[in-house]
Structures are given as structure tokens and as C-alpha cells.
Amino acid sequence: MQRTTAFTTTALTLVFFTTATMTPPIEAATPLAPAERAFVGEYVQSGSETMAQMAVLDDRTFCFAFMGGSIDLLLAGHWKLAPNGKDIQLNEVKVPRPQFPALARPAKDASKSEFEIDGYSMSNAVKPVFAYSATNAEPAEFRRLFADTHNNWAERYPLPPVPAAQARYFYIGSSENDPDAPYGSATRNGPKRYKVVQYELRGAAKVLVGFNAEQNIIDLSQPVRLVGETLHLGPQSFAKRRPISAERAEEAREGCIRPMFAQAADKPLTRSQEVEETNPDLKGRSELVPIKTFYVDPARVKGAPWVPGKKF
């Protein structure tokens, strides 16, 4: 089971239980208490279109992997026994992940910039908007990328080329709730604002933009407990425990835990030739870093969508 996409944890995703590049070793842990050892194992949950895996290892590290639709997600971290002496708590190592990853390479025409939208990942965004500007000032208006009737997600949506001088900055965002609004208010419960990220282009470029939906997949801050041999994440059952062999545990460390720890420590991994060959879009592209994140009132979203709507 191996599938990589351009828009997941980073520009390059290492899939759970595959060979990764060498990364710093994980420090040896103290011996486990019986209550802790009960959690050690492998857990697999599969559906018609999704698969989730979790490995809980005896060095008090874990890996969680999810594959489904446009999302390939890896999370890793440490675990410890909860204060009640029965559950465990997961402490994820945080890897910087832009909500709207953007990969750029120099444009063939030095006078124009081009933008492509990764429809497969962007289908997970809520009413995404897009704009560009010649200066660092926020645009007065933003346009929706897609019409409400749009439901045919092609692999790429090229936008019309634009003079490079007019697109020194570009903006991509999506609708969301306002978590700081009073509880029960319409602003809190409905999508009443747009969260927008701003990027800068230093020269004409061809830019591929996608959406990172991984933050909506699972909440690892929930208590983790065993009911019999079944692991529960919060109130929901996840999967039954399976014994994990030393070989499988090492595969989880090499293919998931150590690479994710290295990324969290800001030590980028070297791409292997095999993965580059399966991701031709990554060759020659650099991942842009957002320079600003801000919120936009829906009243500033106007005009026809960038991609015409179609009914099917």
C-alpha cells in the first residue's frame, strides 16, 4: 500500500511502513509497566475507501497513518500512561504544515506567472477563494475558485496567465467558523469568515496550489483507552490490538516515526530517487513559505468564480 501526493504532510509524504532515509535515533525508554505494555501493538481500521493504522511501540513512541481520498497522513510522537493509571495520552510531534501548500518553479515566459489549482486536494476546502496583487497591500476583493455547483474534480485547474508584475503576491483561503465568537452565535456556528494565507513571488513563476485537510482527520489529544482488546480514541472505538513483531516495529520507526521527528526538528529529509520518480510534479519545484495569515469578511468575496461552474 503506497501512494504519495503533492499536498499532504509536506511536499513529500513518506508512507507508513516503507523504508525512509536515515534519521536521528530515538532514545531508549525505561521498562514498561504492565498497564503500559497492554497498549503495545498494531491497530488497523479499514473501510471501503479509507485505511487507518496505528503502531504503539514499547519505546513509548507511536505512529498514526491515514489514507483515503486525496489525503495521505502521517502523525507520530510519544505516549505516556495517563494519571488514572489505565489510559494513555498521545503527545504528537508538531510538523509545520501550511494549510494551502504552494510549489513553484520559474515560468517559461519571464513576463507572466501561471497558477494551477490541485482540484483533488482542493475539493476538501470550504468555498476556497483566490486573489493576487502587485503590492503587499491586501486586495480589496477576492473571488471564489469554484461555483457551488462544481463537483467534478479534475486533477489540475490552470488559471489564466497574468503579468508577473501584477502578481508579485497571491492569496488563497477558505471559509471557516469563528472560534472566538460567543458560544451559540451565528458567527461561531456558521462559516462567516475566510482564513487567507499570503505568498510572495520573486519573479515570474508557475505555481501549483493545493489544500491540506489533514488537521480535520483525527484529534490525538483525546484520551486513549483499551476496552478488552479494542483501542478507543475518545468515545469512538478504533481497532483491535494485534501483536507487533520486532520487524514491523522497526519499519514503523524507519518509515514514520524517525522521519516525522526529523521534520519536527526542522531537519528536512533527502528525497529518495524512487519517490521522486512517482512524483514528477515535485521535480524542479520549491515549496513556498507563507508570509502572512489573516481573516477576510465575506463581503469582500465578490465576482464570478475563477473556474466556471458546471452541473452534472
Report the 10 Å Cβ neighbour count for 157.
Answer: 18
pLDDT single digits (tens) 219-273: 777 789 999 999 998 888 999 999 999 999 999 999 999 999 988 886 544 433 3
Q: Which amino acid is at 284?
A: G
- Beta-strand ranges (E) seen in 177-227 are 193-200, 205-209, 224-227
Determine contact, residues 171/198, Cβ cutoff 8 Å.
yes
pLDDT at 9: 35
What does the block give as the cell for 134? Answer: 502587485
| Cα distance between residue 88 and residue 75, in whole Å | 17
Predicted pLDDT of residue 180: 55
Chain position carrying cell 469568515: 193
Which residue blocks in the chain are alpha helix, DSSP H? Answer: 34-37, 119-122, 186-189, 246-252, 258-264, 273-278
pLDDT confidence of residue 237: 93
> Domain 34-97+214-276 adopts which CATH fold?
Lipocalin (2.40.128)
Nearest residue to 139 (alpha-carbon basis) of 112, 173, 115, 111 = 173
Q: Between vectors from CA 242 to CA 34 and to CA 25, what angle results, nearest 5°?
A: 70
Gap between the Cα atoms of 291 and 4, Å rounded: 27
Residues 114-136 pLDDT 10s: 999 999 889 888 899 999 999 99
| pLDDT for res 215 | 60
Per-residue confidence in pLDDT tens, the chain, 312 aa = 333 333 333 332 333 443 333 334 444 458 999 999 999 999 999 988 889 999 999 999 999 998 877 677 889 999 999 999 999 999 988 777 788 999 999 999 999 999 999 998 898 888 999 999 999 999 999 999 999 888 777 789 999 999 999 999 999 999 986 555 554 444 444 557 899 999 999 999 999 999 987 665 677 777 899 999 999 988 889 999 999 999 999 999 999 999 999 888 865 444 333 334 445 556 678 889 999 999 999 999 999 999 986 544
| Eight-class DSSP state of 257 | I
Every domain of the chain with CATH number 2.40.128.360 lies at 34-97+214-276
**Distance between terminal CA atoms of the chain?**
32
Residue 273 to residues 7, 75, 267, 283, Cα–Cα distance (Å): 19, 23, 19, 11
Which residue do the cell numbers 535515533 mark?
25
- The answer to whether 107 touches 41, Cβ cutoff 8 Å, is no
Report whether 142 contacts 173 (CB < 8 A).
yes
The vertex-132 CA angle with 145 and 199, nearest 5°, equals 100
